[in-house]
Structures are given as C-alpha cells and as structure tokens.
Chains A and B, each alone.
Chain A
Amino acid sequence: MKISFSWLKQPSLYGMLIAVALLSLFPFYWMYVVGSSTNAAIASVPPTVIPGNQWNQTFAHIMSMFDIWTVYRNSFIVSIVVAIIQVFTSTLAGFAFAKLRFRGNNALFGVTMAFLMIPVQLGIIPLYLLMANLGLVDTLAALILPYLASVFGVFWMRQAMVSNVPQELIDSGQMDGASFFRVYWAIALPMVRSTAFVLGLFAFLTAWNDFAWPLIITQTPGNFTAQVAVSQLNAANNPSYPAILGGSLVMAMPLIVLFVVTAKQFVAGVMDGAVKG
C-alpha cells in the first residue's frame, strides 16, 4: 500500500487552507470553552483556551432562564413545517412553470422573479399588523406562515425541472392517462429530489436561524425559538458569558449535526444554486 505525501510539497496551499479551517472552526470550539468555564475564568489573563468543568452549571443556568427542550421543540416544529411546505409549493410551481403549457406562463414567471430583488424586511411592519388581525401574535403559526412561499425556491426548482426532467416522460405519462398531479408526484419529483432536498435543508436552516421576525412576534418563553432564546441570555440584566456562549452552542447543535451529516449535499447545493444564479 502506497501512502502519498505529495501534498506536503505544497505547504503554502495547505498552510493557507488549514489557517482558514481554524478560523472557521475556532468560534465553535470557543463557545464550548466559555460555556464550560466560570465568568471569572473567562476574564482571566491570559484568556482560557481549554474547556473547563462547569458545563452542567451553565446548562442549569440556561434552564433557569427558559426550558431548552421547549425551545428545541418550537424551533423544530417551525423549521420542519417550513421546509416541507416550502419544498412542496416550490416544486409544484416549478413543475408548472417548467413543464406545463398554459396562457401567461412566461409572463407570470417573469413577474415572480422580479420579487427576488425585494428586501425581506420591507413588509415586516404590515406583516405584524396582519398577524395581529388574525390573532396570531405570539403563536408558532405566525413564525411559519411568512416562509411557506419562497420566490428563490420556485426559481431554483423550475431550473431543476427544466434540466432534469425530460419532456417525453411527462408526455408519455399523460398518454397513459395519469393525472397531472400524478405525473408531478411520481415522475418529476423523484427526478429533482436531490435539489429539492437541498432546498429543504436551506429552508430548515433559515427558519432555525431566523431572528428579527421571531423577536417581534413571540412574547412568552413558551413560544421562544432558538435565536430569541439566545437573545434573551444576551439581554439579561446580569449577562453571563458562559450562559450566552454555551446557549449559542446548545441552540446551534442541531444544525451542526445536520450539517455534518449532509455536508456533501449542502456543498453541492450551494455550488449548484450559484451556477444557475
């Protein structure tokens, strides 16, 4: 068995990449270092860079501010519902735009794409008023509804349908008497499943990390999502670095696991979206 050490001949290339990797990963490590230390240890000179043994105390401190499991549950419900429905609305509309012939197809698509450029914060005030009118302030439904339709998702899924689903398969499906929904569900959707999966990952990630909207629309700790919870730790009267950074790590943990498991698809998804963009 021959082991190749040829990469050692390019020290500058790998040296640079290792430095970048350390920069990328250090903040995560440091969240754990601080989260497992006391406030006093953090302020010491020189600063601690080795984990302490206070993790359980930090965890208890965070639990005294809010119930971590409730926050997990809320963020998980919101993120998974957003991901599934956004994938459904996007693939269905993407399929119609890419594969069905109807009057106004191109014009409607053009109009929709114009909204890719519109800043998201623009509608946040009326959105709040709308939720107030619907009686949805401080509910999980208010966190979900604004994210079920994604212009970017429709754009991306239309591209995926155009490049992955041959028109002949659609036509032959129709010949066999299958309904259009059946053609979408049984033929087109399986052919774009990897892109649709990455769209779902993005939607999940964005919903989990969303901050401004949940900050405004949730009020009671029972409805806090991950980022609002971290924000509460940061805005406490007597802020504690171990609780803030430990809490950030606790709230990032599900995404870290998700990313490690799906890294390959994730990377491919970012690069795929880029070429088309």
Chain B
Amino acid sequence: MASKKVHVSRRNESIAGYAFLSPFFLLFAAFGLAPILFTVYVSFFNWDLLGTQEWVGLANYQELFADTRFYSALGNTISIFLLSSVPQLICALLLAIVLNSKKLKLRTFWRAVILFPFITSTVAVAVVFGAMFADHGGMMNWGLQLLGLQPVMWHADGLPGQIVIALMVNWRWTGYNTLIFLAALQSIPAELYEAAEVDGASKVSQFFNITIPQIRPTIFFTIVTSTIGGLQIFAEPFQFGGGNYSGGASGQFRTITLFMFDQAFGQLHLGYSSAIAIGLSIIIAVVVGINFFISNKLVKGDK
C-alpha cells in the first residue's frame, strides 16, 4: 500500500510540474517563441504590410548584402556601441571600487543615487540630452564657448551625434553596472587581499592579479548584456533625430534597429525588415561568440 501511495504522489508531482510550467510556456510560446520563428519565415517573402505576400527565397538577403544603407547603419551601430560600452564599463568598475571602500558611510544612499538614472526611460534621457546638446542655444555649446571653443553641431554632424547618443547610454547604465560590479567585488574572499598585503603586493598589482581575475565572469556578463542591448539601440537615436526613423538629416546616427523599423513600419516592407532582424541577430550572436572565445582564451592563459 505504501509503495502505491508513493507512486501516486510521484505521478501527481509530475502533473503538478507540467501544470505549473504551462502558464509561462503557453504565454512564451505564443508571444515570444512563435514571433521569433515566424520572423525567419517572413524574411523569405516579399511581404507588404497591406496584403501582398510573395515567396522570394533568399532575395531579401541578397538585397541586404548589397545594401549600402545596411552597412552604414551597421557602422553607426558599432560606433555608438563602442563609444558607450567601453567607457561605461570602465567607469562602472572604478566607481564600484570606490563604493566598496570599507570606510564609506551612507552606503545605501550612494548606491541608490547612482542607480537613479536607470529608472529613467530611454525616451526621457534622449529628449533631455537632445535639449542640453542643442546645436543652437544648448547648454553644452554655451559651455564650450565659455571655454573659448567653437560650438559643435551635435545634431547636424556625424560623430558628435553618435557621441551624444553614447553619452545617453553611459548616463543611464553606468550606475546599474556599478552595482553589478560591486556585488562581484563583495564576493571576493578578503583573505586573498590579506595574503597579498603580507607579500607586499601594491594596490595596482592586487587590482590586476586578484580583482580582475576574480570578477572575470561578471565582466563577461556585463559585456554580453551590453552587447545584446547596445546593438539593438533604438529609442535614443529615434528621439535625438526628432522622433522619426531617419537617424539624422543624412542618416549619420541611424542604427540597424532604426533601419529595420523604417523598413517595417515606415516603408511597410515586412519581408525585407525581417531579413534585417535576422541579420542583426546573427551579428549579435557573432559578437557574443567572440566574447566567449576571448574569455575562454584568457581563462586558459591563466592556467
């Protein structure tokens, strides 16, 4: 009898397991997985938002490979990504070291303050920075003139526009990544530093020989998340360009996602737009893969 009871309860446990997973899986399948798979399908069509659907095989991809607008958007996206993620992660790590200081008072206060920008929407960040970096009458140009420098045409010129967009990303995400690094720093055993002190190692040497290797998984994590997010940047260049898909008068800060949205919801070319989405996903996968490769190499190099 006892074994039968165990058997029944095991079966009930299985049923409960699948039942408890089902709300998540049904919703995820319908609104997450199915659309992703369908993107691949749509990319093989000449698919107009207003009705026409015609199988064209790989034609959209051939067009994409030859499309100078795609390469220009790719270049802008990577440029903005590098301008935003590199300084952001370096600043976040330095700030985390400051916040990790044992003597620091008001810990929670400082942590909350640096996290504050994170709650701001990308739209609000973009309009505020858009106003501060106005080409005429903006606060930044006033400051530059005060220093005797020429005003910069932030909206009209190429690189300045990308720098402002990167600054928006830096402002919003540095605090968040600081807390991620801080959590990692706190998990490093204090004995490692104590031993290094005994051996007479300098602070700089401790940083490179203890801190960096110990938090390497976290560094990898932040690089991967900023890659996935950064290469999809949309709201900032959209708003900075005045709330449209053009990405500046000559597309100087038009990113891949802006290009994709323009093709889908501006030009109504859903098939071509889907091919852009797949292209972007492959690029993200490649960049994340390169991260994995380098990270593995470094770990092996240590041993």
Contacts and interface: CB of A to CB of B under 8 A. Distances in A.
A230 B130 CA distance: 13
A266 B132 CA distance: 29
Interface string B12-36: 1110111011011101101111111
B242 interface: yes
A17 B107 CA distance: 11
Residue from the set A95, A115, A126, A251 with the largest chain B CB neighbour count within 10 Å = A126
A263 B112 contact: yes
A31 B224 CA distance: 32
Contact of B232 (A6, A119, A234, A245): A119
B115 interface: yes
B223 to A, nearest CB: 12
Given A125-B273, A125-B274, A92 B35 contact: no
Contacts of A10: 103
B114 A148 contact: no
Contacts of A151: 28, 32
B82 interface: no
B242 A235 contact: yes
A267 interface: yes
Consensus secondary structure, chain A interface: helix
B131 A115 contact: no
A187 B285 CA distance: 40
Interface stretch (B56-64, B70-78, B200-208, B260-268): B260-268
A171 to B, nearest CB: 10
A259 B34 CA distance: 34
A234 B24 contact: no
Interface stretch (B121-129, B155-163, B190-198, B294-302): B121-129
Given A7-B105, A27-B128, A121 B13 contact: no
A105 B179 contact: no
B65 interface: no
